[in-house]
Amino acid sequence: MAHRFAPIALLVVTACATSGAGRYQDKEMDFAAIRTVAILPLTNLSRDSAAADRVRDVLANMLLATGALYVVPQGEVMRGLGAAAIAAPSSPAMEEVVKLGKVLKADALLTGVIKEYGEVRSGSASGNIISMSLQMQETATGKVVWSASTTKGGVSFSDRLLGSAGAPMNQVTEAAVDDLLNKLFR
């Protein structure tokens, strides 16, 4: 009789052990040394052409609100990208990360991908969803020192049951960014 429940116990233990899935953090990196970050233009794979800029604004504001880091203003980042002649601003090569870090006087760069952003439907219900990933590269070496992904929002069971709409897009975006920042600062 006990053998029948062994797979369930294994599943529960495995689920608890993999709760950090979707996150990478370089164990040798001293994150306390990072004081200034620059958020590069995000890659937008969604149908909403303004998604990357909206998410980038929310990310910058929420990072600044932590008080832990200074975020280089977006205008300075754009000037720095031009001055450093970065070929692909949303995914710079390691040597470009080092070069841009010197131009912007930033300790790290954040890059990312917006995979999904906007409304999804399920029957008569709809909800907003965001799926994104971020990575941090230290500018001293160009090496990726942190990476994480998240998906927030969508159509819940209660939304389907009641035929209602989910949370507003800005709220869903803030929840996703908050989740990523929790993965960064823990």
Pairing of strands 43-44, 23-25: unpaired
Residue type, 113: V
CB atoms within 10 A of CB 70: 16
Per-residue pLDDT band at 14 (split at 50, 70, 90) = very low
- What's the helix, strand, coil split of the chain in %, to 5? 40, 25, 30
pLDDT tens profile 56-71: 999 999 999 999 899 9
Give the pLDDT mean for 103-113.
Answer: 97
For the segment 120-161, what is each residue's pLDDT rounded down to a tens digit?
A: 877 777 788 999 999 999 999 999 999 999 999 877 666 555
Q: With contact defined as beta carbons under 8 Å apart, do 150 and 143 qualify?
A: no
What pLDDT, in 10s, does the model give residues 31-47? 889 999 999 999 999 99
What's the topology of domain 33-115+134-149+172-185?
Rossmann fold (3.40.50)
Q: Which residues contact 165 (CB under 8 A, 6 or more apart)?
A: 125, 126, 127, 159
- The contacts of residue 133 (CB under 8 Å, 6+ apart) are 112, 113, 115, 147, 148, 149, 150
Contact 69, 36 (CB under 8 A): yes
Q: What is the pLDDT of residue 156?
A: 66
pTM as predicted: 0.82
pLDDT of amino acid 30: 87
- Domain boundaries in the chain? 33-115+134-149+172-185
